[in-house]
Amino acid sequence: MNTLQSGYRRVLVGVAVLGLFGCATSPDTDKADGGYYVTNPDGEVYKDAAGNCWHDPNVEKNEMRAECGDQVAQTDGDDDGDGVPNSRDRCPGTPMGTEVDARGCPIEKQAPIVLKGVTFEFDSARLTSQAEGRLDNVAEALQSSASMSVRVSGHTDSIGSDSYNKQLSQDRADSVKRYLVDQGIESTRLTTMGYGESRPVASNDTAAGRAQNRRVELDVMNP
């Protein structure tokens, strides 16, 4: 792309965002792919207030976008089944069921936070005093991030029946939620799930492994 075309493309994106969308800043045009349609770094096409796709008239039309009203050829399949057509899939071959972005690339998820020190009385969902102290810190962190929602996940070792362990893990997750709500965290920001023994992180053949598997985790649902 020559200097004139590059400058035009930069102005085009700036107008699209500043003039029609009212954004305070323009997108990083250095990351645009230089194609016919003007896209953000995730491969999504910028649109004006009427829903029309922005394109660069100095570039020959070399791509088809169904969301822009183009008739996409039926031969443009989706071999990996991620919902992104092969012609726009920048990460072909993603495993079935993988959550992907507009480019067809896996979305990186934040690893769950293991709440070390959150323990319970034997064969019970009653929190220990040590656990309450640890959860006080968690409540403070959640209060300082008012927009954050989390899922409280309970896990057990393999001692006992599957059904019993699943219920125990659910009760323990609910117990953690109740404590956090009592500390002022809105209940709508907290969901719970008991997984029982289905998601071990260590071997259940040793005492040390079983101790690791008996845990409570926080999954951040939104940043």
Phi first, then psi: give them for residue 114, nearest 5 degrees. Answer: -80, 125
Q: Which residue has the higher pLDDT, 81 or 168?
A: 168
Percent of the chain scoring above 90 in pLDDT: 43
Q: Is the model more confident about 26 or about 145?
A: 145
- Higher-pLDDT residue of 130, 6: 130
pLDDT band at 72 (very low <50, low <70, confident <90, very high): low
Q: Is pLDDT above 70 for 9? A: no
| H-run or E-run covering 221 | strand 215-222
- Is the CB of residue 60 less than 8 Å from the CB of residue 67? no
List, in sequence order, every residue forming a beta bridge with 151; answer none if it has no partner.
191, 219
pTM: 0.54
Contact 171, 156 (CB under 8 A): no
Contacts of 205 (CB under 8 A, 6+ apart): none
**pLDDT surpassing 80 at residue 71:** no
For domain 113-222, give the CATH superfamily: OmpA-like domain (3.30.1330.60)
